[in-house]
Chains A and B, each alone.
Chain A
């Protein structure tokens, strides 16, 4: 994770395993890989536009648009990167990132921008592909929706905005903790009323 420098993202101070994010900045590298979703697209545009034109040969961009949205695809395409591909889901884009990184040279840089789910899965993929953590930059943008692993049945729940959240697989009501696994790119969800299942717990929208 990048250092907690200035960022558009507002994340309250929390426990140590909870990631913090910085602001993307071009650093010297033999290749520059970008992964963003719609909320992070403008970060990619911002930094790539600052690069000299002759560096475009080294730029590779993966994008996950919001369904139906086309304007940002056009803008990202217009940057003139060597490769630009877009995918309907984070999962597919991250899989593609994995295949790109497996052919990547030493000295490659990875830039991630957007929601925490996308950034987290990009970090995990970078780590899996042997990229040093110092070669990975993250900028958080958009919703604070969380990716949560149900600790009981191990289901991954995407885009969680409520506290608690009901596990769609085992039906338990989960407290979304700040405890975060980089390997799973997920926060931990633990049953909130396990001691007394009759306890009623109000579900509130908190991760906006």
Chain B
């Protein structure tokens, strides 16, 4: 299958949109009609041909445009890509994992040739053709994490493991849901999750950490997380909050279907072979409400989830200003019929 890469923007005129064929493959994050935090981790096995779970690193029609947006963010704020000095080996692990996976899963788009430690990498969509020495950063234009991070959709954090904890010691983070790598770098698992309400009390992070500390190589895992974003904006960083915060005031009952986007993070977890670090890709998918409700099951369910969402979560996810009108708007798509289990459309 050849992917037609879209020429679109995640800022300014916000020309981003999903093609009709791309809508059913959206990773809708609600397997039930209600939502509460859980340690919803499952094996990252290939699932459903055509779904975002089919391949290790999903490539879709937004690939090229997302990489352009990342380059814009990094040009403005180089602090979005940082690695503590001991994280270079992990950067090479990350590069290897992405190159090997993409060349295997998308042979018409990516090609990797290895001759000992001389590697030749071709990325056709981004028109990259480079030869370098694996493990020798002087043969790349930048840190290996940044080099490959500019060629793979989603933010990527790399977590060092020591003292029975995970440490956010490196990352390339340009499409985040309101957290700052520059502030959080060097923090442990509990510290960087500190601002999240309710979940600590529920023991979610203790269980998740326990699971991740024993994550074996070759057995990646995944989970979905979600929030809502006004306009299809990838860079909702705290750094740029004054730029995207005012968007929330532009939501009206008339434009809500095109303005509000369901923002889903496909988070995966990979044990890296040399560094023993964990690669933590946070891949963001955006879909306008108008697009979501083209799938009747999703329209019904989203109404029920939003209507019954706990007030702490409405507040934490930053939905307070438009939550009531969204619930009202979504109610027109809920006829009360039962919904089938699981996230896929009927």
Contact = CB atoms under 8 A, between A and B. Distances in A.
Interface of A: 15-18, 149, 151-152, 154, 172, 177-179, 181-184, 188, 190-191, 194-197
A118 B241 CA distance: 29
Contacts of B187: 17, 181-183
Closest 6 CB pairs of A and B: A194-B245, A17-B194, A183-B186, A195-B245, A17-B191, A15-B194
Interface residues of B, number: 25
A151 B183 contact: yes
A179 B193 CA distance: 10
A68 B239 CA distance: 39
Contact of B249 (A18, A183, A195): A195
Contacts of A17: 187, 190-192, 194-195
B246 A181 contact: no
B111 interface: no
Nearest to A186: B183
B44 interface: no
Contacts of A179: 183, 194-195
B16 to A, nearest CB: 22
B241 A15 contact: no
Q: Is the interface of A mostly helix, strand, loop or mixed?
A: loop
B321 interface: yes
Interface in B154-188: 180, 182-187
Contacts of A188: 180, 183, 238
Contacts, number: 67
B79 interface: yes
B238 A181 contact: no
Contacts of A18: 194
A154 B245 contact: no
22 contacts: A16-B191, A16-B193, A16-B194, A17-B192, A149-B183, A151-B182, A151-B239, A152-B240, A152-B241, A152-B242, A172-B242, A178-B194, A178-B195, A179-B183, A179-B195, A182-B186, A188-B183, A188-B238, A191-B242, A194-B242, A195-B246, A196-B249
Contacts of B48: none
Contacts of A181: 183-184, 186-187
Interface of B: 79, 180, 182-187, 190-195, 200, 238-242, 245-246, 248-249, 321
Contacts of A197: 242, 246
Given A17-B195, A151-B183, A177-B195, 14 more contacts: A16-B190, A17-B190, A17-B191, A17-B192, A151-B239, A152-B241, A179-B195, A181-B183, A181-B187, A194-B241, A194-B246, A195-B249, A196-B246, A197-B242
A206 B227 CA distance: 32
A182 B186 CA distance: 8
Contacts of A178: 194-195
Nearest to A193: B245
B123 to A, nearest CB: 33
A197 B193 CA distance: 28
Contacts of A190: 238, 241
A184 B82 CA distance: 14
Contacts of A177: 195
Nearest to B238: A151
Given A151-B183, A177-B195, A181-B184, A16 B245 contact: no
Nearest to A127: B186
